[in-house]
Chain A
């Protein structure tokens, strides 16, 4: 098993080299968070403080969001899903391929903080460490070690691209890809339900939304200058958190990421009301897979499915 420590050191080495040789003006990576099981994005432009860069199983943020709209040569730490988001943004001309040095990290899956908190049923975790396949959590009056594979993020459980599809520098050796896991289990489960049950489920879940737009602001695909919910001329959909406005916000946002979403899981992770937004994004991924046989963020040459068409596209839904 490759141990995490030498990945961290090699990341620091790579960053120091890139900065010293002026190949990049900035390296974006992860630094240790102020809370257990947390990391935070960090921006290094001076070779001396590369030691702030950290790597552990809680490096869950999708850093590619910070590349958009920045006109600098940047080195970025990218897991499999992050690299795929960078590919999508490059094909959509938001990121200039020459300006980015992708430091690819083969990823063995990141840990889902909320699952661990649920496991210790809400007791506060004061200290936590992930070593190899074990997660050690310590609280005021408990200490537990948990098997890491049961507490991975949902998107990591069925991730088929743990090794970044493209990268300039690969840190550590490749991890075996899993091909067996069926990524759409949850979606099929919901599809099997009746329309009324699904409506009841989504109204209950999305009814908690407080319109804080963390899911939109954390998603690398949401880079519009003026988002459709911010428009007032014309005012398409209301900005209140009535059920109808909230549901339509999520429906339209998901329509916009259809055929582009790489399922990095950031939207579900950051939601303060713990709404499982992947139930919607995974559905668009399934539609795009079945209808157009397309998977986002794999190669720089492919055209996003909703940006093109075929004469013989399926039209079973059209009334005869």
Chain B
């Protein structure tokens, strides 16, 4: 039996800043030990415990897609003790990773269906992993139509700008970008995500919706999706609760009889309705 809390060492290969304010960065990491890299199998939507020795560890969604060989990407916002320490790192520094944890997006259940991805602000990381996974040539034909609706406060806050551009050019998906308030030179839509979602009204026939964003956006998007005909068990949410151990032992992310880190973070709206309103 190995110590479940022992992280594996990874080296920071690249650090990409995601917004002008530079408080959100994407870290590209490679495991020091190729053996570990080989059997670090993960699905989109899973997270890992990223640790900076001396500061602690925190659960971060894996932003890269499982199809990307050889590296892992984490998008981290500078907000707490560990994230501040990570933001002070430079390329070549060594940090700890343990995981992958959580159930991730239910890829098997989504196969052969239309996919609607609704993301808001900084919580687009695991949705991007899902989108990249679906758009990969080996997987694309297993899924039908893909719609991505992604909004942020202003253009600077939109994450993964190169991906968004690439997706804009592709024909086999429909990308709708929006920002909250009008900004000069912005060609995309303007308005909050729920309103834009209602406007673009993706068809709910044989479709699954994956949504992740700030609580206020989710609060207003769920009714829109139900109105569009999405049944409660076809709306998938990735919850953001305070987690610590990541393996369902420390009790922090306990809602009702479920642990968000073990039984989630992806839940269907149906499951959430049965759980106590504490998320």
Interface of A toward B, CB cutoff 8 Å: 232-233, 235
Please report the number of residue pairs spanning A and B whose Cβ atoms sit closer than 8 angstroms: 6
| B81 interface hit (Cβ, 8 Å) | yes
A232 vs B80: C-alpha distance when bound (angstroms): 9
Chain B, 72-101, contact with A by CB distance < 8 Å: what is the 0/1 string?
000000001100100000000000000000
The residue of chain B having its C-beta at the shortest distance from the C-beta of A235 within the complex is B81
The residue of chain B having its C-beta at the shortest distance from the C-beta of A233 within the complex is B81
Interface of B toward A, CB cutoff 8 Å: 80-81, 84
What are 6 contact pairs spanning A and B, CB under 8 A?
A232-B80, A232-B81, A233-B80, A233-B81, A233-B84, A235-B81
A233 vs B84: C-alpha distance when bound (angstroms): 10
Which chain B residues border A233 with CB–CB below 8 Å? 80-81, 84
B52 → A minimal CB distance (Å): 13
A229 → B minimal CB distance (Å): 15
A233 vs B81: C-alpha distance when bound (angstroms): 6
Which chain A residues border B80 with CB–CB below 8 Å? 232-233
B198 → A minimal CB distance (Å): 39
Which chain B residues border A235 with CB–CB below 8 Å? 81
A94 vs B80: C-alpha distance when bound (angstroms): 29
A233 vs B78: C-alpha distance when bound (angstroms): 13
Which chain A residues border B81 with CB–CB below 8 Å? 232-233, 235
Which chain B residues border A232 with CB–CB below 8 Å? 80-81
A138 → B minimal CB distance (Å): 41
A285 vs B81: C-alpha distance when bound (angstroms): 37
A257 vs B41: C-alpha distance when bound (angstroms): 54
A235 vs B55: C-alpha distance when bound (angstroms): 10
The residue of chain B having its C-beta at the shortest distance from the C-beta of A232 within the complex is B81
A232 vs B84: C-alpha distance when bound (angstroms): 12
A271 vs B50: C-alpha distance when bound (angstroms): 38
B243 → A minimal CB distance (Å): 16
Which chain A residues border B84 with CB–CB below 8 Å? 233
Closest 6 CB pairs of A and B: A232-B81, A233-B81, A233-B80, A235-B81, A233-B84, A232-B80
